[in-house]
Structure 1
Amino acid sequence: MKKRIRNIHLIINPAAGKDESMLMIINASLKEAGIKWEASITHEAGDATRFAKSAVKGGIDALAVYGGDGTLTEAMSGLIGSEVPLIILPGGSANVMATELGIPTDLREACALVSQDPPQMKTVDVGQFDGRYFLVGMSFGFGAELVKGAARESKNKFGIFSYFLSAVSAFKKMRRATYHLNIDGRKHKVRGVTCIISNTGNLGFSRISYDKHIDVSDGFLDVVVVRKANFSLLKHMAITLLKGERPDNLRLVEHWQGKDITVSSRPAQTVQCDGEVLEKSAFHVTVIPGAITILVPKEKSKVIE
């Protein structure tokens, strides 16, 4: 997009995890930038997708979303096939995609990106399965139990730390399973405590990434299986990641890349995708390269380190 953004539709998740005068900040920022905007408020699952599709038909320069990764994924799903870019205004607890793209978690700073002239954009891959889409990724087992345990009430009270509290509970439930994988025609059978199909490498913190080579714009999804873990290994991995280093115990991690992925687990495990718990235990997942365009800081528009 070469022209300045002048007309925005904003989708707001009122249950997002941050306590701030959100509307006052957004209104002041966009008014100062001379941007016309209207807003829709989500009340139930599917609202963000419907609002996005309707806004695209009505004619907008960009779609902005205030909420977490789940709301972002819903809204993004309504943009697939259009040329309307996405603006992320982080309002959730983890904000994984915003962190991946270097988008400020401070709402005023995120709003300020809209006034860039010309706006800086980055094309991002999207995963899909069963007619649904995802931006961040899906996980089986321990990783899914961790997300499932960070319930809305806990996230409202503890924010990002709710995931650490959930990890304690998830660790108690951790059991190994056998993952049957078919990645671009190559079959793998591996035992592990969690399997992750990811579009991003970070864990919602600017310095914490389980693999800094995972790229949201490389046309691939990354499949990661943690083969085994105990409390001391997880503690060591967490501390090392917090230091911005690569843990030596990642030798316990299998990592592949692919565009067409089939995965199932035996026994069946809890599965989540972009924060939503799913009922199935077997999935066929593919990637849509460059499916969506997202507003980013200037230094992130071409290459993400």
Structure 2
Amino acid sequence: MKFNHIHFIINPASGKEEPILSYINQTLDNTGIEWELSVTKRNFSAGEIAKALIGKTDLIAVYGGDGCVTDVAGAIQGTATPMAIIPGGTANVMAKELGVPVDAKAALELLVNGKLQLKVVDMGIVNDHLFLLRINLGIMADMVLQADRDLKDQIGQLAYGVTAVKTIAEAKPVTYRLTIDGKAVEETGVSLTVTNSGNIGIGDFALQPGISITDGWLDAILLKDASFTSLLKAAGSTLLQNETDAIKHWQCKEIIIQTDADQRFICDDSEQVAQLLHIKVVPAAIRIAVPAEI
């Protein structure tokens, strides 16, 4: 599949430092593909740019991290305009989820050689805010929130591992009152994730087996405690893709989360605060260009 016109949205504040404009020009020069680009600014988001491009280009290609990708996805959700991902962030989880090369040059080359197909993927919505990847509460959120920006620039995703040591040591259980597809459940844990995507951003490893971004379901995953045994079991579950009693896992279309006090949480790359989270799946929300299956 080839596109006659591509509009690139560039986030200059993304995690990588590379000459992306030169890459685009070199890759698309003399290909016959018409292209334009827009650059995000503090008061001019990727989503705002994408919304103005709906129906005016064959493909919106976004260069940035997962937050930028989610912003564009939210803007074009429910329209016929597809998007492509040119990874430019620290983790690039969505690119890994979809098999898009994390090397920007390789991702751009796909746009030229036509070895692409459009994949219809789900999104989620929390308190009227669209997301593409997941919602994290507890230590999974704290690990991201407390990561040092300079350290992220130096060692990438390993910065989250450094922060994880501290957040695990300080972890305090939270009581979550859940309503999962209409059924009330009360659970206590140190981490709660509601996810649309399985990939954790490291290789092909997934949070839990059976998670799919195209199945019309969300997955809620609770880590009961931060003991060494539980963490070891949880890590083994991710590596070996098997079930463990250290984690509770539900599939759902809708989940309501209530806590006794406001909780900081991560919605993809965005920090938010709430005491009540109302989360629903948005099936078949967008079309993303991904490497064609051989």
Are residues 1:279 and 2:273 paired?
Answer: yes
- Work out the CA distance in 2 between the residues paired with 1:111 and 1:50: 23
Counterpart residue type for residue 241 of structure 2: R
Task: Find runs of 4+ consecutive structure 1 residues off by over 6 angstroms.
Answer: none
Aligned mates of 1:144, 1:123 — CA distance in 2: 28
Q: Is the aligned partner of 1:73 residue 2:95?
A: no
Counterpart of 1:113 (choices 110, 113, 131) is 110
CA distance in 2, matches of 1:198, 1:174: 21
Report the 3-state secondary structure (helix = DSSP H, G, I; strand = E; otherwise coil) of the residue aligned with 2:156: helix
Write the mapping of 1:239-250 to structure 2, written as runs, cut at 5 A: 241=238, 244-246=239-241, 250=244
Which residue identity does 1:134 align to in structure 2?
F
Counterpart of 1:253, as a letter, is I
Residues 134-213 of structure 1: matches in 2 within 5 Å? 134-213=131-210
Q: What's 2:225 paired with?
A: 228
2:132 counterpart letter in structure 1: L
Aligned to 1:303: none
The residue number in structure 1 matching 2:50 is 52
After TM superposition, list the pairs within 5 Å mapping 1:91-110 onto structure 2: 91-110=88-107
Q: Indicate how the Cα distance of structure 1 residues 180 and 61 shifts in structure 2: closer, same or farther if over 3 A, else same.
A: same
* Structure 2 match to 1:21: 19
Question: Is the contact made by 2:117 and 2:289 (CA closer than 8 Å) also made in structure 1?
Answer: yes
Question: 2:257 aligned with 1:260, yes or no?
Answer: no
Q: Which moved more, 1:145-154 or 1:272-281?
A: 145-154
Seen in structure 2, the aligned counterparts of structure 1 residues 256 and 239 have a Cα distance that, compared at 3 Å, is closer
After TM superposition, give the deviation of residue 32 of structure 1 in Å: 4.8
Change (3 A) 1:256 1:232: closer
SS in 2 for 1:140: strand
Question: Which residue does the alignment assign to 1:132?
Answer: 129
The separation in 1 between residues aligned to 2:155 and 2:115, in whole angstroms, is: 38
Which residue number corresponds to residue 32 of structure 2? Answer: 34
For 2:68, the aligned partner's letter is T
The runs of 5 or more residues in structure 2 that have no matched partner are: none
Instruction: State the distance in 2 between where 1:271 and 1:196 align.
Output: 10
Structure 1 residues 143 and 86, CA gap change in structure 2 (3 angstroms): same
Q: Would the alpha carbon gap of residues 247 and 165 (structure 1) be closer, same or farther in structure 2, given more than 3 Å must change?
A: farther
154-163 vs 109-118, which moves further: 109-118
Contact 1:113 1:295 in 2 (8 A): no
Q: CA deviation at 1:167?
A: 0.8
Tell me the number of residue pairs that the alignment of Structure 1 and Structure 2 aligns: 294
Contact 2:192 2:221 in 1 (8 A): yes
Measured after TM superposition, the shift of residue 132 of structure 1 is 1.7
Deviation larger for 169-178 or 284-293 = 169-178
Correspondence for 1:294 among 268, 288, 291: 288
CA distance in 2, matches of 1:196, 1:280: 15
Equivalent pair of 1:96/1:202 in contact (CA under 8 Å): yes
> Are the aligned partners of 2:230 and 2:246 in contact in 1 as well (CA < 8 Å)?
no
Residue 133 of structure 1 deviates from its aligned partner by 0.7
Tell me, in whole angstroms, the C-alpha distance in 2 between the residues paired with 1:257 and 1:65.
Answer: 30
Question: Is contact 2:27–2:108 with CA below 8 Å preserved after alignment?
Answer: yes
1:129 Cα offset (Å): 2.4
Give the distance between the partners of 1:66 and 1:154, measured in 2 at CA.
22
- Report if the CA contact (8 A) 1:222-1:257 is conserved: yes
Supply the AA of the counterpart residue of 2:27. Answer: S
Query: RMSD of the alignment, in Å?
Result: 2.0
Q: Give CA-to-partner distance per residue, 1:172-220, whole Å, 9 cap, x none.
A: 3311011111111111111100110100111102232121310000001
Match of 2:60 among 60, 63, 69: 63
Q: 1:279 to 1:19 in 2, by over 3 A?
A: same
